[in-house]
Amino acid sequence: MLEADQFIGAALANDFAFFTGVPCSYLSPLINRVISRTDTRYVGATSEGEAVAIAAGAWLGGRQTVVMCQNSGLGNTINPLTSLNFPFRIPTLLIVTWRGKPGEPDEPQHALMGRITRDLIDLVDVPQCLFPTAEAEIEPFFARARRYMNEEGRSFAMVMSRDNVTSLPLNEVPRTRHTAITEYNNLTTGGVRPARRQVLEQILGDLPQEDAIVATTGKCGRELFTLQDRDQHFYQVGSMGAASALGLGVALTASRRVVVLDGDGAALMKLGNLATIGAYQPSKFVHILLDNGVHDSTGGQSTVSSTVDFAAVALACGYTASWVCDDIPGFRLALANSGSKAGPVLIHMRISPGSMIQLGRPTLAPHEVAQRFRTFVTGGEDPLRHSRSGS
């Protein structure tokens, strides 16, 4: 059995200092110690999939990351592992517990997942090993995992059994509710709502090119690329709902302002992201929600956004200011005012359905987009830089 500090010390020696996840009793000693130490960062997520996306953003911000979760939540990680981490070659170290391990008595809800946990990890093409049980096993594991993650750009998993780590008490500073004055600004006029393209053109014209922009999956990212391709853009493909969590990971690890371009369907899918963003209070975070009321990429089926006051939800979750608008002048005013606010802010921009007729797709492969964006965010030299139209 290991002591948590033995494992964490080796993790830090290999540059793993950013941890996120959802607790499990098997993980408690490790999570409690990560939270209690001053040389590690732990971000508690509302779901395991959100944790993977937060870690992806932290990697884009220049960090090596660890995601910890119970195997019952492994299913929640499948979408971002396969449609975010895999195509973008964003590695993370997964620590997955083995509840319901064959031969060990456990609760009935863990029986099936316990039987298939290791097969499921294999199925999503993530190499794995058992969590070390002796101090001498830790460093060889990290050498193997780090080498694979750096060379292949892929994630690596450790499967933790019961009592792998000795129990430790939690020394956590209680999180206090954000008490600053919050602002709800209604700038709607009730006129004809603009197209997404018009809003994106204003963003390209008004935002400084020092800002990092994360565009959600679907036609938002495609339209942004078609209008202009820039190093500051991260075009998310797949992993619907993950853009704001990824943006949070970037904001917590980088000095640049982060602007997330979200959609109503995507935001509704992972509404818990707003709670995590509000709780962790990234100081330079602008969340722009482009709400056309439909799933535009799949034929225009209605979402339930017409009954949701996203601006009020954001404030209830701890955002410091929010605006709701439905025309370009109102949007430009909100965008200009957002720069003077500390903490996360949300602009709920209501737009009309539809998209550009001549709609392109990013010509860079996802992993090239990720590396270019990471280089931009961290201020390093971009090894993939080449002549690109519109940049």
Output the pLDDT for position 324. Answer: 98
End-to-end alpha carbon distance in the chain: 54
Q: List the one residue out of 62, 58, 116, 56 whose CA is nearest residue 80.
A: 56
Taken in order of first residue, the domains within the chain and their CATH numbers are 4-160 (3.40.50.970), 183-378 (3.40.50.970)
Q: DSSP assignment, residue 161?
A: P
Asked whether 45 and 51 are in contact (CB, 8 A), the reply is yes
With a CB cutoff of 8 Å and minimum separation 6, the contacts of 84 are 52, 53, 56, 90, 236, 238, 239, 242, 246
CB 324 within 8 A of CB 348: yes
Going residue by residue through the chain, which has 391 residues, state the pLDDT in tens, using 9 for 90 and above.
Answer: 889 999 999 999 999 999 999 999 999 999 999 999 999 999 999 999 999 999 999 999 999 999 999 999 999 999 999 999 999 999 999 999 999 999 999 999 999 999 999 999 999 999 999 999 999 999 999 999 999 999 999 999 999 999 888 876 777 766 666 665 679 999 999 999 999 999 999 999 999 999 999 999 989 999 999 999 999 999 999 999 999 999 999 999 999 999 999 999 999 999 999 999 999 999 999 999 999 999 988 888 999 999 999 999 999 999 999 999 999 999 999 999 998 888 899 999 999 999 888 888 999 999 999 999 999 999 975 444 433 333 3
**Which residues, in sequence order, are bridge partners of residue 223?**
none
Class of residue 179 by CB neighbours under 10 A (exposed 0-12, middle 13-18, buried 19+): exposed
Paired with 81 in beta bridges are none
Provide the whole-model pTM. 0.94
Inter-CA distances, 131 with 93, 151, 155, 176, 265, Å: 12, 22, 15, 34, 38
Q: Where are the beta strands (DSSP E) in the chain?
A: 16-21, 41-44, 64-69, 93-97, 128-130, 156-160, 183-186, 212-215, 233-235, 258-263, 284-291, 294-295, 301-302, 321-325, 343-350
Per the structure block, which two tokens stand in for 252? 């917590």
| CA angle, 251 then 253 then 255, to 5° | 70
Look up tokens 């802010």; give the residue: 345
| pLDDT for 296 | 85
